[in-house]
A and B are shown apart, each in its own frame.
Chain A
Amino acid sequence: MSTDQPSSAPRGPQAFEKVLPENEAPVRFEAERESGIKRFQNLLHSHPTAIPGIVLVASLVFFSVMVGGRFLHPFNFSLIVQQVMIIGIVGIAQTLVVLTAGIDLSVGAIMVLSSMVMGRLAVEMGVPTPLAIAAGIGIAALCGFANGVLVTRFRLPPFIVTLGTWNIFFALNLWYSASETIRAQDIEASAPLLIFFGQAVELFGARLTYGSIAMLAMVAIAWYVLNRTAWGRHVHAVGDDIESARLAGIRTDRVLLMVYVVAGVICGIAAWALIGRIGSASPQAGQTANLDSITAVVIGGTSLFGGRGSIVGTLLGALIVGVFRNGLALSGVNVLWQEFAVGVLIIVAVAIDQWLRRTSR
């Protein structure tokens, strides 16, 4: 273009732009070329819980055929829900953190530490049980706060921070409990409220524990907070693109700090439920919750890169793992193949996530 014509600055469309309408064909071509696979991909992308939902239904059908009556009995289903209850609750905390593009390796350690605080205070120190529970949840919140401060103030990667605090919290747990289990009889005698979540209602032959009901209620609350409040939108935005979120006026550090504190509180509630589930308070319980919660989150379709995922997916992810373990156990398959199946599930889930992300940009 000529830039040297004096004084008359071009106004309105420039010459080279006038031919544009004729050149629109390639754009339309792109749009029409959308294949069936591509449409399927977009469908999955806009409904992130579709895949774990399909997998759960498929695995239920599969094991119904393989195992038959015993698997289909309502009691067996309620057993699966009981078995995934702890991972389901801790998975909510993990989902929050993963949505911010972080990861929390310390959730299990926070839960065990918190449960030992509850148990010792209520059973051995004679503190009123509600206060002991509050103290346990308070300690869990403090643990989450420590994680959050290290991530936001000291700008350390969440993986490293929580790898460190996992060990620290677990060591504190062994120290505080003197590596001793608080026995079920003692809890039943002096602090029955601690095993509240282990109680159950009978429903059509199923045994639905209060813990299972609490897990479902917490999933519902977390869904509401993440999808229907400004804070929930901010959690997504921070994980999606933290710099954009900051420029859009979100106080990203405050959101992140709160996420870790809330995750701690949820682990504290999980601690209470854990005592109800196993009947005693053991410093060695819940060891696998750190990684199992990440497994549930990943199989549930939440992206480890942050910003996208759902709490319902995590519940489905936890249930899928539960159904696989239960179904394989009932089939009489060696336990090692349960681990094998879970491993395959994780890799398939992440591969699907990557596939979906590639097309979205």
Chain B
Amino acid sequence: MTTSTPLQPVVQARGLVKRYGRVTALDHADFDLMPGEILAVIGDNGAGKTTLIKALTGAITPDQGEIRLDGKPVRFTSPMQAREAGIETVYQNLALSPALSIADNMFLGREIEKTGVLGSLFRMLDRAQMRKEARAALTRLGLMTIQNIDQPVETLSGGQRQGVAIARAATFGRHVVIMDEPTAALGVKESRRVLDLILDVKKSGLPVVLISHNMPHVFEIADRIHIHRLGRRHAVVRPSDVTMSDAVAIMTGAMEPPAQAA
């Protein structure tokens, strides 16, 4: 991807401030996500990256500052509003309901009802349509090793569950997919699958925000790395310009960030 053409960021935040009592979690933080990129967000525990992501996904409302989505100012007071605006989040706990089927989970909170009287009066679900679309979404991401779309999510492996959550986000996310530690709970093999999935999401044209502590994963798939420190954006680097240990050093303050921002 070339950055010489002036692209408008998909998500842009300027001067976000969030205080919890006497603790300042966000201290005039900035954020830019460019179209079609994978932007990793790294930072030490307590650096405020979770608060930053929560502000972008509507889980919290910042005290000050502005968030723009495709150039238009937005203000979210609930995760629902962010979702409706096209920002999908894959939470660390995945937000899946274990006892419900894959198809039910894919459409949880935005089920499709039948047309006509069956839908409007009897509120009957269009289960055939939901199954069809869920299967299509999983196939798009090469996840149809999951044979039975009606099997409960609790019968899936950790990686498969992650796959369902990512497929859901990729299906409904019109602007951005945000992923919070998608590989944290996974084994080596399953992490590999999930990283490939994230690259597939990127290929489909959706920009991805990846929050991760796993430096090899970050360096493998990120186009740019947003380093968060002391409640603000400390630096943005490219994985090709710095080493992993440099990135960690910048993150912890042991090293000054390179002069020119990526």
| CB-based contact B108/A16 at 8 Å | no
Q: Which of B19-27, B44-52, B97-105, B139-147 contacts A (4 or more CB under 8 A)?
A: B97-105
**Known contacts being A7-B241, A249-B109, is A14 close to B99, with CB within 8 Å?**
no
Q: Which of A88-96, A194-202, A228-236 contacts B (4 or more CB under 8 A)?
A: A228-236
Q: Which of B30-38, B202-210, B213-221, B227-235 contacts A (4 or more CB under 8 A)?
A: B213-221
Determine the distance from Cα of A247 to Cα of B83 in the docked complex, in whole angstroms. Answer: 10
| Partner of A9 from B154, B192, B219 at Cβ < 8 Å | B219
| CB-based contact B124/A3 at 8 Å | no
| Partner of A247 from B95, B192, B239 at Cβ < 8 Å | B95
Range, interface on chain B: 35 or more
Instruction: Tell me if A36 is interfacial: C-beta within 8 Å of chain B.
Output: no
State which residues 1-33 of A face B: CB under 8 Å: 1, 3-14, 16-17, 20, 23
| Residues of chain A lying within 8 A (CB to CB) of residue B124 | 228-229
| CB-based contact A230/B125 at 8 Å | yes
Determine the distance from Cα of A318 to Cα of B96 in the docked complex, in whole angstroms. Answer: 32
Determine the distance from Cα of A307 to Cα of B188 in the docked complex, in whole angstroms. Answer: 31
Q: Which of A237-245, A275-283, A345-353 contacts B (4 or more CB under 8 A)?
A: A237-245
| Partner of A244 from B80, B97, B216, B244 at Cβ < 8 Å | B97
Instruction: Tell me if B64 is interfacial: C-beta within 8 Å of chain A.
Output: no
Instruction: Tell me if A248 is interfacial: C-beta within 8 Å of chain B.
Output: yes
| CB-based contact A243/B93 at 8 Å | yes
> How many inter-chain contacts with C-beta < 8 Å in the A-B complex?
110
Instruction: Tell me if B240 is interfacial: C-beta within 8 Å of chain A.
Output: yes
Instruction: Tell me if B72 is interfacial: C-beta within 8 Å of chain A.
Output: no
- Residue in B closest to A233 when the chains form the complex, CB atoms: B104
| Residues of chain B lying within 8 A (CB to CB) of residue A11 | 220
Quick one: CB contact mask for B61-98 with A, threshold 8 Å, 1 for yes? Answer: 00000000000000000011001000001010111111
| CB-based contact B97/A249 at 8 Å | no
Instruction: Tell me if A207 is interfacial: C-beta within 8 Å of chain B.
Output: no
| Residues of chain A lying within 8 A (CB to CB) of residue B220 | 9-12, 14
**Known contacts being A10-B220, A230-B111, A249-B110, is A308 close to B123, with CB within 8 Å?**
no
| CB-based contact B245/A233 at 8 Å | no
Q: How many residues of A contact B (CB 8 A)?
A: 41
Quick one: CB contact mask for B161-193 with A, threshold 8 Å, 1 for yes? Answer: 000000000000000000000000000110010
| CB-based contact A20/B245 at 8 Å | no
| Partner of B192 from A13, A231, A237, A246 at Cβ < 8 Å | A13
- Residue in B closest to A249 when the chains form the complex, CB atoms: B109
Instruction: Tell me if B129 is interfacial: C-beta within 8 Å of chain A.
Output: no
Quick one: CB contact mask for A198-242 with B, threshold 8 Å, 1 for yes? Answer: 000000000000000000000000001000111101101100110
**Known contacts being A229-B125, A230-B123, is A5 close to B104, with CB within 8 Å?**
no
Instruction: Tell me if A250 is interfacial: C-beta within 8 Å of chain B.
Output: yes
| Residues of chain B lying within 8 A (CB to CB) of residue A224 | 122
| CB-based contact B125/A240 at 8 Å | no
A–B Cβ pairs within 8 angstroms, 11 of them: A7-B241, A9-B219, A9-B220, A17-B192, A230-B113, A236-B97, A240-B100, A244-B94, A245-B109, A247-B93, A248-B109
